[in-house]
């Protein structure tokens, strides 16, 4: 038995339904994985609701990440029973993904589960957590140090934002969180934020340069919020731009760059090479406090995914949604 959530398109509308997959329907690949957990990311929300045109062909099994055990392998690097994790590589958009009990994939998309993590924890972290660690790595590699000053995280109650708050705090940074959810203050402070600011403050039109407030920032929102953040960076401040939960547009001026030497650092988690993935997962396993993983999570079945997909697009999700296909 191999139950999956399958997306079909009818009259340009995306329809999502749980059904059995037959073995010959599975795509080509050298490793078959029995999936223990997948997760719900913003991109999955776009795919499942059909609001974002990110699915390349139908039928599609969505789910941009998963963790599980190898069930069959023709690559000697992976043995039956090995615990593996997959994120990125356009899985769940171009190739069939994690909302299934079993999936066949290319072994080069997999990484071994980092020591110290269970597959459940790996998907509480998921693409969102991996991406937030990549943001921390980008900021640190660009020279940002805790003593430089406060670091801002926007879209802070989201998957990437929540885990960025926790990881930055764990690395000794003073974290200031920006959230549109008025009731999120206690949650964000428990994750490690020193202060929580209202999103409304960042949606006002940005001046070319505003009061200098932040040494670093992780921006998951884009649009006016990112423009505002850029205008408030310290001299030589660094901003990791990672998301577009608000908008894909960026209407700004060159002033933060040419008068304050601000660095805008792009962060991608989809195509990063194997070695950097392994390095990021190892750091997460060491640095993400265990209690955070239970604080940020809600578990749902395949049948419940469509309703939660709608919620994530509407910005109603707090933390991470874990998908259990079994
Ligand atoms: P979530 O939906 O979990 O989080 C996004 C958060 O942004 C929300 O919780 C909300 O936080 C805030 N938000 C939502 N809608 C709006 C809006 N209209 N205007 C301003 N803020 C809004 O998504 P993820 O954490 O999974 O992903 C965050 C972003 O990062 C997405 O755009 C996603 O596509 C991108 N991403 C990029 C990756 C990469 O490789 N570059 C990898 C993974 C994600 P609050 O209510 O607290 O303000």
**C-alpha 156 to ligand 1 mean position (Å):** 8
Please list the alpha-helical segments (H only) found in the chain: 42-49, 119-141, 159-170, 185-191, 200-203, 223-231, 255-260, 274-287, 290-295, 305-313
| Closest by CA position to 155, among listed 98, 89, 222 | 222
Question: Is CATH 3.90.180.10 correct for 3-113+296-324?
Answer: yes
Q: Kindly indicate the confidence band of residue 52, based on its pLDDT and cuts at 50, 70 and 90.
A: confident
Indicate if 127-266 has the same CATH topology as 3-113+296-324. Answer: no
Predicted structure pTM score: 0.95
Q: Is 244 in the pocket of ligand 1 (CB under 6 A)?
A: yes
User: What are the tens digits of pLDDT across the range 84-99?
Assistant: 999 999 999 999 999 9
Q: Are 68 and 120 in contact (CB under 8 A)?
A: no
User: What are the tens digits of pLDDT across the range 148-168?
Assistant: 999 999 999 999 999 999 999
Whether pLDDT at 294 is above 90: no
| Main-chain phi, psi angles of 24, to 5 degrees | -75, -5
Q: What is the pLDDT of residue 181?
A: 94
Whether pLDDT at 295 is above 90: no
For residue 201, give both structure tokens.
């403050």
Q: What is the pLDDT of residue 318?
A: 87
What is the pLDDT averaged over residues 309-321? 92
> What ranges do the domains of the chain cover?
3-113+296-324, 127-266
Q: What is the pLDDT of residue 293?
A: 82
Q: What is the pLDDT of residue 12?
A: 87
Provide the phi-psi class of 261: left if phi over 0, else alpha when psi is between -120 and 50, else beta: left
Q: Tell me which residue has its CA closest to atom 9 in ligand 1.
A: 158
Q: What is the overall mean pLDDT for the chain? A: 96
Give the three-state DSSP class for 179. strand
Cα 219 to Cα 9, 164, 181, distances in angstroms = 33, 10, 16
**C-alpha 315 to ligand 1 mean position (Å):** 8
For residue 36, give both structure tokens.
């223990």
Between 3.30.365.10, 2.30.110.10, 3.40.50.720, 3.90.550.10, what CATH number should domain 127-266 receive?
3.40.50.720
Between 290 and 228, whose confidence is greater?
Answer: 228
60: DSSP letter = B
Rounded to an integer, what distance in angstroms lies between the CA atom of residue 201 and that of residue 253?
Answer: 19
Q: Kindly indicate the confidence band of residue 4, based on its pLDDT and cuts at 50, 70 and 90.
A: very high
Q: Are 36 and 113 in contact (CB under 8 A)?
A: no
Strand 263-266 versus strand 233-241 pairing type: parallel
Q: What is the pLDDT of residue 264?
A: 98
Q: What is the pLDDT of residue 20?
A: 97
Q: What is the pLDDT of residue 319?
A: 86
**C-alpha 222 to ligand 1 mean position (Å):** 9
Query: How large a percentage of the chain has pLDDT more than 70?
Result: 100
What is the pLDDT averaged over residues 270-275? 95
Whether pLDDT at 178 is above 90: yes
**C-alpha 109 to ligand 1 mean position (Å):** 24
Rounded to an integer, what distance in angstroms lies between the CA atom of residue 313 and that of residue 307?
Answer: 10
Rounded to an integer, what distance in angstroms lies between the CA atom of residue 136 and that of residue 192?
Answer: 15
Rounded to an integer, what distance in angstroms lies between the CA atom of residue 32 and that of residue 316?
Answer: 34
For residue 143, give both structure tokens.
């020279």
Whether pLDDT at 291 is above 90: no
For residue 186, give both structure tokens.
């206690």
**Cβ count near 286 (within 10 Å):** 11
CA 154 to ligand 1: nearest atom: 48
Q: What is the pLDDT of residue 304?
A: 98
Q: Is 268 in the pocket of ligand 1 (CB under 6 A)?
A: yes
Q: Is 267 in the pocket of ligand 1 (CB under 6 A)?
A: yes
Give the three-state DSSP class for 255. helix
Whether pLDDT at 131 is above 90: yes
Q: Tell me which residue has its CA closest to atom 36 in ligand 1.
A: 243
Q: What is the CA radius of gyration of the chain?
A: 20
CA quadruple 123, 126, 129, 130: dihedral positive or negative? positive
């Amino acid at each position: 038995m191999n139950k999956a959530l399958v997306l079909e398109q009818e009259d340009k509308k995306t329809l999502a339904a749980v059904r059995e997959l037959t073995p010959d329907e599975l795509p080509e690949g050298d490793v078959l994985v029995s999936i223990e957990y997948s997760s719900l990311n913003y991109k999955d929300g776009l795919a499942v609701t059909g609001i974002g045109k990110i699915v390349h062909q139908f039928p599609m099994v969505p789910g941009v990440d998963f963790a599980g055990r190898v069930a069959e392998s023709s690559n000697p690097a992976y043995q039956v029973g090995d615990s593996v994790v997959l994120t990125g590589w356009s899985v769940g958009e171009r190739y069939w993904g994690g909302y299934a009990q079993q999936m066949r994939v290319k072994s080069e998309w997999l990484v071994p589960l980092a020591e110290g993590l269970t597959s459940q924890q790996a998907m509480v972290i998921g693409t969102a957590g991996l991406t937030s660690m990549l943001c921390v790595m980008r900021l640190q590699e660009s020279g940002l140090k805790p003593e430089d000053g406060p670091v801002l995280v926007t879209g802070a109650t989201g998957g990437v934002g929540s885990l960025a708050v926790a990881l930055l705090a764990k690395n000794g940074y003073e974290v200031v969180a920006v959230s549109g959810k008025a009731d999120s203050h206690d949650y964000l402070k428990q994750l490690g934020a020193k202060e929580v600011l209202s999103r409304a403050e960042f949606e006002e039109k940005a001046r070319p340069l505003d009061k200098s407030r932040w040494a670093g920032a992780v921006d998951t929102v884009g649009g006016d919020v990112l423009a505002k953040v850029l205008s408030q960076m310290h001299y030589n401040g660094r901003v990791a731009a990672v998301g577009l939960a608000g908008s894909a547009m960026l209407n700004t001026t060159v002033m933060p760059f040419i008068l304050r030497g601000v660095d805008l650092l792009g962060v991608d988690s989809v195509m990063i090479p194997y070695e950097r993935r392994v390095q990021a997962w190892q750091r997460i396993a060491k640095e993400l406090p265990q209690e955070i993983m239970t604080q940020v999570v809600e578990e749902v079945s395949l049948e419940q995914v469509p309703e939660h997909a709608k919620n994530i697009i509407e910005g109603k999700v707090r933390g991470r949604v874990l998908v259990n296909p079994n």
